[in-house]
Amino acid sequence: MLLSLCAELWECQPAAIIDGGKIRGAAEKRRNVRLVTHIKSIHEESKKTYGSPRIHVELRSRGIQCGKNRVAMLMRKQRNSGQTQTEVQGDNGFQSYHASA
């Protein structure tokens, strides 16, 4: 009873729970696909400046539970990375910051 309840909650087969507690197969892929859509959304909203640590914090603030290493791994697979800022001396003598690729 408890095993089948946990399997429904984690969207996996009961055998996956017995097998070291790891979610494998289709359920893990579905969860990753959902997570990637959220990551892409946040990455676009931040004008591609957020890296995995900030995206992880943003996901947590939106109530999406995930690990920071999972976010980093999925971003690497998608080739998403945050942009750094470079300091530029403007014509007016003031310094400004621009995102560099």
Q: What pLDDT, on a 0 to 100 scale, did the predictor assign at position 30?
A: 86
Q: What pLDDT, on a 0 to 100 scale, did the predictor assign at position 38?
A: 93
Domains contained in the chain, number:
1
Please determine, for residue 22, whether its predicted confidence score (pLDDT) is greater than 60.
no
Instruction: Tell which wins on pLDDT, 80 or 22.
Output: 80
CA distance 1 to 44: 43
Report the percent of the chain where pLDDT is more than 70.
Answer: 54
CA distance 49 to 37: 17
Q: What pLDDT, on a 0 to 100 scale, did the predictor assign at position 46?
A: 86
- Within a domain: residue 45? yes
What range defines the domain where residue 26 resides?
A: 2-81
CA distance 101 to 1: 53
In the numeric block, the tokens 């998608």 are attached to: 78
- Within a domain: residue 96? no
- Within a domain: residue 53? yes
- The mean predicted confidence, pLDDT, of the chain is 75
Give the tens place of pLDDT for each residue, 36-80. 999 999 988 988 888 889 999 999 999 999 999 999 999 888 876
